[in-house]
Structure 1
């Protein structure tokens, strides 16, 4: 890392995964920075209100300022207002966990969730909002990849990595590009992507892309996830129409979101009158 900003963001991103805080030495080791430099950065972040020291001479943790900014952004961008009613209704219909991911540049990020399982065995990660979706192992990632050509899909997977660098990756995560391409072809033919014991062992999920006005640019992906013992292939087939209908509803409602409108403008070609002529 070279810039002060890059070093500061590395510390913030690390602390996101450790809400109870970390000692300076652990932060320095994890971010490959000198202890003295980390201490100075933490002091400055503390002055600005982004971190706090849990107790005198104790660990450093994020304050609520950064999460509050993120929630404020989602609200002002119109994402939660547009999406949450649709997610809640699908959660009630399916009795499983519903997640919405949206495109952010060249990444797919989970931004909204609704839990439909009220009792018994359920999948409830609780910490994935704001997390970048791993494309090759998740149903949402494969749903997005399935909207691309094979070459573009492989390019995105190569940039992120075929295997997820984290504990808990499922045993069925595709470990070859050939297998991944086969799964993408199946998703296109079936109308939805699946991931069983892939992203996390014991969890199964299905997902579809969310397109602006049905046939427009892809805005994100909508998924249903639950325990693999309950989310069988037959159950997924039963839920597919409801999932696809909810994605279509989100695509129609996207006109009310400034964020989704920005995505559409970024990917749609400019009108002929706006293009430069030779």
Structure 2
């Protein structure tokens, strides 16, 4: 039963990365699951309403059911009530994408965003995904709040990622990553360029629980490197840190943030 559940969850996570859907054979091959077993799992997920198939032999895609569950949880958790006004204001001030990730169970998941770009290039990745810790500013900000040993353990569990899918300046070794983390600790926030995605940049700061000071989330500003160079990111850092402090002050009102602090 555990193996079946694991496969079903992996299918859902894979479909979450493909809004246009994926054919059965692609999912089976990607996850190394026999096609017959993949077909049975997808049939059950379709029956339960979590996956849909528009036509016979057509691609499978997630239904709105999972989205509804996630939005319902966020509404009940208080995260959006607390965070969205802060994110909206920071996005308006910076003219870039602002995102909030929540820390739980050794993962950093983006749960809220505000888009401030009003013209030109816009960076607007999917929400609800886990941040790649070794290459993102969000990941570096969180890892920098931990000991080197704890940080490397989290990265070892997730991996450094496929270099072909990352930017040319993404850390490839523990030594390179630790150098970035030391810089983030020294300045109180993390900065990356050409790391998680080619041509993109981001600056991020940890949100801490107001009582325990445990890291419970990460707030970031991200955008094209053409607009968001190192000098500008450092200029934006005070506004980012102020917004993170504001989120920290209101965190006790959210059950999700309280859970992250445990």
TM-score bucket (shorter structure): over 0.9
Q: Unaligned 5+ residue runs, structure 2?
A: none
- The offset of 1:26, in angstroms, is 2.3
2:104 and 2:259 in contact (8 A); partners too: no
* CA deviation map 1:68-107 (0-9, x unaligned): 1111111111111111110000000111110111101111
Q: Unaligned 5+ residue runs, structure 1?
A: 267-278
State the distance in 1 between where 2:236 and 2:203 align: 9
SS of residue matched to 1:114: strand
- The offset of 1:238, in angstroms, is 1.4
Match of 1:173 in 2: 170
Match of 2:253 in 1: 256
- The offset of 1:179, in angstroms, is 2.0
Runs of 4+ in 1 over 6 A off after TM superposition: none
> Cα RMSD over matched residues?
1.7
1:100 and 1:221 in contact (8 A); partners too: yes
1:214 and 1:251 in contact (8 A); partners too: no
Match of 1:105 in 2: 105
| Matching of residue 220 in structure 1 with residue 214 in structure 2 | no
State the distance in 2 between where 1:258 and 1:216 align: 16
2:102 and 2:108 in contact (8 A); partners too: yes
TM-score by length of 2: 0.94
- Distance change in 2, residues 1:215/1:7 (3 Å): closer
- The offset of 1:166, in angstroms, is 7.0
State the distance in 2 between where 1:2 and 1:37 align: 14
- Distance change in 2, residues 1:176/1:32 (3 Å): closer
Aligned residues: 262
* CA deviation map 1:148-197 (0-9, x unaligned): 11122122222222x22375300001122222212111111112111111
SS of residue matched to 1:3: helix
State the distance in 2 between where 1:215 and 1:5 align: 35
TM-score by length of 1: 0.89
- The offset of 1:199, in angstroms, is 0.8
State the distance in 2 between where 1:149 and 1:10 align: 30
Match of 2:200 among 199, 203, 226: 203
Match of 1:235 in 2: 232
